[in-house]
């Protein structure tokens, strides 16, 4: 870590992700055995991306003027298959953020059991407030640069923040024109041109399925009646709430960057429809006014918790839960935290959860359902098949149960009431990649 920090002092988010992983892997990296030596050599290689591509994206705005953005693709590790990971369009995107996400993606993809390596990419372009024509212009220019670095057997990107069906469609159309090929080089596609059912829902659904397995395995609890706090209001949060309702739990909140909507009696399917339909920047506040029994509170949901909480599903952004918020959750009776977002809990928060015997499902395990169904989309494309919603949902449930089982199998012996699923998930994901790298003679 000292060496890595000296090399990348300007990349704190990436360094945080690596250090958290290193702490979990410490017992299998230390020692004098041949296996420990192999693991150390593998980890030293894994923390450096195989390839980091940066390029300029020049495109014309509505006035006909040229604008310039930066684009990246971080191809982190291909030991288990072609690079796989989303594209994010947001002004906060940097190499640091993408390296953090790509590093996490390697472990996440390994845990799915599918043949996928890990990568991530995107641009500091912000599609919000842009016309469709401007977004189309940017996506064409972005794919003009990215197309030379991706392919069905090389790198298959997907969507991420601000990259939805519209952006995927524009980029896929550009790739087809550039390469004159119809290949599965993007996932999250439209259903009528190669997409998979349940792909938009997969991250949220999968997070709930993982939590369901963990609650049953660690606490002997079912989902019925559990009071659940959910942050965020995008795809992940929406479908987390939807699945919680379906399984009989009681989701009580959603949020955005300005504030949170809290309904102590629990959100209903009809409530969720109102929230989704409110396509405005201020939709959480406006939705709270429309829903009987709901209230709007400015600020973070983690600073405005209900009196009693059984489970938390942070689904907004990295480091949204700090130690103070974690202590409040423990005090409110929280029994499980399952990360729908990537690294939403700070290192200090995770320590609080573990000390309080809270079942903690790290993002690389709990939110792997999204990339898992992206892998299933690739399988359908390869065979020119379309699976039913029921088939995909069963495969997603089996995948999340398998991830939980892998975390349990590699977790250390209990020191409290529950197993350390974070350590188990990191070890399970790492050892599979390490074995492949060793077999290839890469370390």
Element (H, E) at 329: helix 323-331
What is d(CA 85, CA 106) in angstroms, rounded to the nearest whole number?
9
What is d(CA 165, CA 168) in angstroms, rounded to the nearest whole number?
5
SS3 state of residue 224: coil
3-state secondary structure 379-391: HHHHHCCCCCHHH
* b/e 272-311 (16+ beta carbons within 10 angstroms → b): bebbbebeeeebbbebbeebeebebbeebbbebbeeebbb
Give yes or no for a contact between 241 and 230, defined as CB atoms under 8 angstroms apart. yes
Residue 91 structure tokens? 């002004």
Give the angle subtended at the CA of 340 by the CAs of 242 and 253, to the nearest 5°.
50
* Catalytic residue numbers, as ranges: 120
Q: Distance between alpha carbon 88 and the CA centroid of its chain, in Å?
A: 12
**What are the beta bridge partners of residue 121?**
73, 87
What is d(CA 72, CA 85) in angstroms, rounded to the nearest whole number?
12
What is d(CA 226, CA 234) in angstroms, rounded to the nearest whole number?
22
Please report the DSSP string for 380-438 in residue order.
Answer: HHHHT----HHHHHHHHHHHHHHHHHHHHHHSPPPSSSS--HHHHHHHHHHHHHHHHHH
How many other β-carbons are positioned within 10 Å of the β-carbon of residue 94? 18
Of the candidates 316, 167, 161, 155, which has an alpha carbon nearest to the alpha carbon of residue 229?
316
Give yes or no for a contact between 299 and 214, defined as CB atoms under 8 angstroms apart. no
Contacts of 11 (CB under 8 A, 6+ apart): 95, 96, 99, 100
């Amino acid at each position: 870590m000292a060496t890595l920090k000296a090399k990348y002092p300007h990349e704190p988010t990436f360094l945080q992700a690596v250090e958290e992983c290193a702490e979990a892997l410490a017992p299998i990296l230390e020692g004098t055995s041949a296996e420990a030596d192999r693991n150390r050599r593998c980890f030293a290689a894994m923390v450096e991306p195989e390839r980091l591509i940066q390029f300029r994206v020049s495109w014309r705005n509505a006035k006909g003027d040229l604008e310039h953005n930066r684009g990246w693709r971080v191809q982190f590790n291909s030991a288990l298959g072609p690079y796989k990971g989303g594209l994010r369009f947001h002004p906060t995107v940097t190499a640091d953020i993408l390296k953090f996400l790509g590093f996490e993606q390697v472990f996440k993809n390994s845990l799915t059991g599918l043949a996928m390596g890990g990568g991530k990419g995107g641009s500091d372009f912000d599609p919000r407030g842009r016309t469709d024509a401007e977004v189309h212009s940017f996506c064409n220019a972005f794919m003009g640069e990215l197309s030379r670095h991706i392919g069905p057997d090389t790198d298959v990107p997907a969507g991420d923040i601000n990259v939805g069906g519209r952006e995927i469609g524009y980029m896929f159309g550009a790739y087809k024109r550039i390469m004159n090929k119809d290949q599965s080089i993007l996932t999250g596609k439209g259903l009528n041109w190669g997409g998979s059912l349940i792909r938009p829902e997969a991250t949220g659904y999968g997070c709930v399925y993982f939590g369901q397995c963990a609650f049953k395995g660690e606490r002997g609890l079912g989902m019925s009646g559990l009071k659940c706090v959910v942050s965020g209001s995008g795809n992940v949060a929406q479908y987390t709430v939807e699945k919680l309702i379906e399984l009989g739990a009681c989701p009580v909140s959603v949020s955005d960057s300005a504030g949170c909507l809290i309904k102590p009696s629990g959100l209903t399917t009809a409530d969720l429809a109102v929230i989704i339909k409110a396509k405005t920047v201020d939709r959480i506040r406006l939705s709270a006014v429309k829903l009987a029994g709901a209230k709007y509170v400015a600020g973070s949901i983690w600073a405005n918790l209900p009196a009693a909480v059984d489970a938390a599903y942070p689904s907004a952004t990295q480091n949204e839960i700090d130690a103070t918020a974690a202590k409040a959750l423990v005090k409110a009776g929280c029994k499980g935290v399952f990360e729908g977002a990537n690294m939403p809990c700070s290192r200090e928060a995770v320590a609080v959860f573990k000390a309080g015997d809270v079942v903690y499902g790290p993002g690389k395990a709990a939110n792997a359902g999204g990339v898992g169904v992206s892998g299933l989309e690739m399988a359908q494309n390869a065979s020119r098949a379309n699976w039913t919603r029921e088939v995909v949902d069963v495969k997603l449930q089996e995948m999340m149960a398998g991830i939980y089982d892998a975390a349990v199998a590699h977790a250390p012996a209990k020191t409290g009431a529950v197993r350390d699923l974070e350590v188990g998930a990191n070890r399970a994901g790492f050892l599979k990649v390490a074995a492949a790298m060793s077999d290839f003679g890469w370390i």
